[in-house]
Amino acid sequence: MDSMTFVLFGATGDLAKRKIYPALFNLYLDNKLPDSFLIIGVGRGELSDDDFQIRIKESLLTFSRHVVDEKHHIEEFIKLCRYNRLDVTNGEDYKNLLDVIQQNEKDREIKENRMFYLSVAPEFFDMIASNIKESGLSSTNGCKRLMIEKPFGHDLKSSQHLNEKLSNAFEEDEIYRIDHYLGKPMVQNLEALGFANPILQALWNNQHIANVQITASETVGVEARAGYYDKAGAIRDMVQNHMLQLLMMTAMHLPTQISTTDIRSEKIKVMESLRPLKKEEVVDHVVRGQYGPGEIQGSGVIGYNKEPGVATSSKNDTFVATRVWIDNDFWQGVPFYIRTGKRMNEKFTKIVIEFKNPLKDLYRNDNQNAAPNLLVINVSPYEGVSMQLNSKNPQNGNLEPIVVDFSSSGKDVPEAYELLIFDALRGDSTFFAHWKEVELSWQWVQPILEAFEEDILPLHLYPSGSMGPDPSNQLLKVDGFKWW
Ligand code: NAD
């Protein structure tokens, strides 16, 4: 891999500490960083290189996936890290940064390949991109790349505006929009699952699949993020990005040759085939909920509108369930159900594919029903695939569902940020969101945002520790299904 300077904006922030340094360190241990590599952390406060390196060390000792037996690896790694004070609103500071980078490129014989990672508040994204351009930071003889965190806009218009600004400084193929769900190993495995298994490939369509259910549930509440979350809600925080990405990854039909362009264009085709919702129809296809008080793992918790920083009158959504139709030849007539919420009774992300069940009535015997075949893709916290089949219990002769299970988990599985940063370093944008995917997602979600804003559908309270409000079950029940 070519030498590179990795410039991290937001180097003293929470995400850098919990995810980005540990990911870079694990890549270092696995020999997956370029031979000549320098990390320049950029932050607003004054900090010496030594202090910066001590912070990184602490973050690695707390959050690194690999158990570090030999502390000397940490010492070696932190020598790759320098700090540079910069106020993102001050144009002059970027020129100083350029001097520092050029000097280091010279001293360490690093080619002018520069990665800019924006791990700062989203209101700074466009300003930083323009300053990178104006200061000359992006005028390189090598490559220049921009990695950018979510949220990418807060509605269709603002995302288009942001994209326009970024496009003035970077080409589309230089922009790596992070959706960390795309970095999860099981999500990256979806293409292989569908493609390397002829039995699944043959069944991956509306002739055999009855419905698809995608759930991402959390047990935590809003925590200390009310300032952001109360304006975003589950619809912006989860549905517009992560849930629709999971849907695209599940529903795409890959041509035989798998390339970045193929994958991205198939995902875009899925988004183009999503049946648009009109604002007036939202009430029939979307359930909006907010957690009330309840119990999580035996402890009492307060309701959302009593959380610090949340107004008692808040109508923010902490739960969204929706029915989505994909109007193309593969999926016509197959409902996709999406569900996500906070303060639910369990934390998991999984995709359940329920197969059609023509034998259901044939096999009726002593009230026995053949259960539908299910393919369950567990994304987190456990990674794995399981298949529910029907089998006769030899003891009583009853037909019973059995589960064939493959799971992998543990410290050997790389974290999402590791996989994503590695891909970006070598210029592979397969598992990053293309602008078109982001724009089509906002476009699909926009009428829902407006319906929520205008309060034209009910906000259902659900007890903390449940799986959301009952109308979410009704959403499936009217179609003859249930959540698995
Ligand atoms: P944070 O508030 O902890 O850190 C923000 C960083 O920005 C700090 O290093 C701060 O020094 C820097 N900063 C603020 N104002 C500045 C200025 N004027 N000049 C220079 N630097 C300035 O935020 P975070 O939680 O690390 O999140 C960073 C980004 O990642 C955000 O876009 C957030 O939406 C996104 N994100 C965070 C998480 C998470 O789990 N924390 C998850 C997903 C996405």
| Catalytic annotation, pick one of 73, 161, 242, 460 | 242
Query: Is the shortest distance between the CB of 87 and ligand 1 below 6 Å?
Result: yes
Q: Which atom of ligand 1 is nearest to the CA of 89?
A: 18
Residue 193 one-letter amino acid: L
Q: Which atom of ligand 1 is nearest to the CA of 122?
A: 32
Query: Is the shortest distance between the CB of 121 and ligand 1 below 6 Å?
Result: yes
Return the pLDDT at 371.
86
Ligand 1 mutation pick, 7, 14, 159, max ligand atoms within 8 A of CB: 14
Average pLDDT over residues 294-305: 96
Return the pLDDT at 396.
84
> Among candidates 373, 335, 333, 339, which has minimal Cα distance to 354?
373
Between these two residues, 439 and 364, which has the higher pLDDT value?
439
Distance CA 390, CA 401 (A): 4
Return the pLDDT at 365.
55
pLDDT band, residue 174 (cuts 50/70/90): very high
Residue 112: φ, ψ to 5°: -80, 50
pLDDT band, residue 321 (cuts 50/70/90): very high
Distance 239 CA to ligand 1 centre (A): 22
Distance 16 CA to ligand 1 centre (A): 8
Q: Note if 72 is an active site residue.
A: no
Average pLDDT over residues 445-456: 97
Kindly report the three-state secondary structure assignment for every residue of the chain.
Answer: CCCEEEEEECCCCHHHHHHHHHHHHHHHHCCCCCCCEEEEEEECCCCCHHHHHHHHHHHHHHHCCCCCCCHHHHHHHHCCEEEEECCCCCHHHHHHHHHHHHHHHHHCCCCCCEEEEECCCHHHHHHHHHHHHHHCCCCCCCCEEEEECCCCCCCHHHHHHHHHHHHHHCCHHHEEECCHHHHCHHHHCHHHHHHCCHHHHHHCCCCCEEEEEEEEECCCCCCCCHHHHHHHHHHHHHHHHHHHHHHHHHHCCCCCCCCHHHHHHHHHHHHHHECCCCHHHHHHHEEEEEEEEEEECCEEECCHHHCCCCCCCCCCCCEEEEEEEECCCCCCCCEEEEEEECCECCCEEEEEEEECCCCCCCCCECCECCCCCEEEEEEECCEEEEEEEEEECCCCCCEEEEEEEEEECCCCCCCHHHHHHHHHHCCCCCCCECHHHHHHHHHHHHHHHHHHHCCCCCEEEEEECECCCCHHHHHHHCCCCCCC
Name the least confident of 41-55, 386-400, 467-481: 386-400
Distance 120 CA to ligand 1 centre (A): 3
- pLDDT, tens only, 224-276: 999 999 999 999 999 999 999 999 999 998 766 678 888 999 999 999 999 99
